[in-house]
Amino acid sequence: MGGWIMLNLVTHYQQWLAQKIPADVLSPLRSDAMEAFAATGFPTHKTENWRYLRLTGLREQAFEVMPPSYLDEAVLAPLLLADCYHIVCLNGFLMPKYSQLPHGVTLNNLRSQLTDPAIQALIHQSDLSSSLVALNTALFQEGLVIDVKDKLDKPIQCLFLTDDLGAHCTSQQRHVLRLNVDAAAIIIAEHISLTEQVFFTNSVWHIELAERANGTYYQLLTDNAKAIHIDHCLLNQQARSVYHAYGFLNGGALVRTDLQQAFLGEHASCTVKALTLASGQQQVDQHVLVRHCVPQCESKQCFKGLSTNQARLILNAKVIVDQQAQKTAAQQQLQHLLLSPKAEIYSKPELEIYANDVKCAHGATIGQLSDAALFYLKSRGIDDARAVLINAFMQELLDLLKWPDLKARISSLFSVDA
């Protein structure tokens, strides 16, 4: 039965490619990608990298192409952060009318850039052994190409909205973010649902940092409780570039994020920090791979995860230090709180070191709130001791949100019923 459904689903997406994707320069790659997807279908627990994630929601429904829609300004206005530049996408489609950027930034639609060899080269880096990346490669149509040439004075808020027309549909998005030599930008990528229905976002990002570029990327996933969100990011860093990835994962029924980073030039640094709260029946799966291919680079990872109710939280954080990557400094810190008896956490820190002159450290903890600390706070008259301790656990990462209205919005999503 399962096989029959899968076969039908594969046929569904094959027909989509055949009938709805116009022939373009990528057609040969797209058909290879579809072949790769058809060979495996969606990953199951037998696929090591996906073993704890139950993708039932993806296997039981043939999602349709997400249609463009109309954006109500009254809905949009409160979501726009003050003191930011904006890029707004609805159902995966760029809304140029609401997108406002300074001179130092060029924004293009990916469709118009496919003949650019540099763009083609990036898209050919897609890892087709991941069936979700393969599906995206076969079917993506829309996407942003953001090129930053200067040091920006304000962050760019990228809003990704999905409305009722997107219900039971999927958007396969492909985005490119490039920071030129010496450029600096803060990107706040925020996913917000304007519908209560299920939808499936499958996005792939290519992020390229040239020499001495400085990029900060906030990923705020706050989709509705039924949404399925798969996000794959390929990040390449040239010499002396600095990258900060800050993740805040809260919404969605099924969330999977992959960050695949590589240091390609020396004296670069990469910091990944993420706060994740899985509640209800949610499954949230984060995979991070940092690869030290060259000497003298520094990576730091700090994850804080909370799982409550019957939720399942999965984290795989891996650092590879290649043989030639001497003088590497790598740190990993994974901290988790289990807040209810049926909540689950699967946490796996990994360090693979092939060089001999490196400083690497990692630590992982999974624990419950301390009874002693709870009693201590209560004995001082504190009514909501549990909430105080949970907030204390999260505060360090919430403090990374430096914009008061954004911090208030995200902090309220991360409140746990005490």
Partner 1 sequence: MLTIKDLHAAVDNKAILQGLNLTIHPGEVHAIMGPNGSGKSTLGNVLAGRDGYDISGTVTYQHQDLLSLAPEVRAQAGLFLAFQYPIEIPGVSNIYLLKAALNAKRKAQGLPEVDAMDFLNSVKEKIKAVDLDQDFLYRSVNEGFSGGEKKRNELLQMLILEPSMIILDETDSGLDIDALKVVADGVNSLRSPERSFMVITHYQRLLDYIVPDFVHVLANGKIVASGGKELALKLEAQGYGWLDNA
Residues within the interface to partner 1 (CB under 8 A): 370, 372-373, 375-383, 385, 388-389, 391-393, 395-396
User: Smallest distance, Å, CB 337 to partner 1?
Assistant: 12
- Non-local CB neighbours of 20 within 8 Å, separated by 6+ positions: 65
* Alpha-carbon gap, residue 254 to 200, rounded angstroms: 9
CA distance 39 to 33: 10
Assess contact for 180 and 208: CB atoms under 8 A. no
3/381 with CB nearer partner 1: 381
A 10 A CB-CB count for 176 gives 22
**Shortest spacing between CB 375 and partner 1, in angstroms:** 5
Beta bridge partners of 214: 184, 242
Q: What is the 3-state secondary structure (H, E, C) of 261-310?
A: EEECCCCCEEEEEEEEEECCCCEEEEEEEEEECCCCCEEEEEEEEEECCC
CB of 306 to partner 1, least distance (A): 13
Return the number of the residue (60 or 384) whose C-beta is nearest partner 1: 384
Query: Which C-beta is closer to partner 1: that of 277 or that of 314?
Result: 277
Q: 132 or 302: whose CB is closer to partner 1? A: 302
* Closer residue to partner 1 in complex, CB, 121/392: 392
* Of 208, 194, 273, residue with least CA distance to 236: 208
CB of 298 to partner 1, least distance (A): 25
CA neighbor of 225 nearest in space, from 201, 251, 243: 251
Tokens 């994850």 identify what position?
A: 303
Shortest gap between Cβ of 371 and partner 1 (angstroms)? 8
Q: Nearer Cβ to partner 1, position 97 or 380?
A: 380
- Please, which residue, 168 or 378, has the CB nearer to partner 1? 378
CB of 367 to partner 1, least distance (A): 12
Identify each DSSP E strand in 110-183 by its residue range. 144-148, 156-162, 169-179
Shortest separation between residue 365's beta carbon and partner 1, angstroms: 12
> Residue 411 CB, nearest distance to partner 1 (Å)?
14
Of 160, 172, 170, 155, the C-alpha closest to 95 is 160
Pick 239 or 401: Cβ nearer partner 1: 401
Ordered DSSP codes for 346-371: EEEEEEEE--SS-EEEEEEEEE---H
67 backbone dihedrals φ, ψ, rounded to 5°? -85, 155
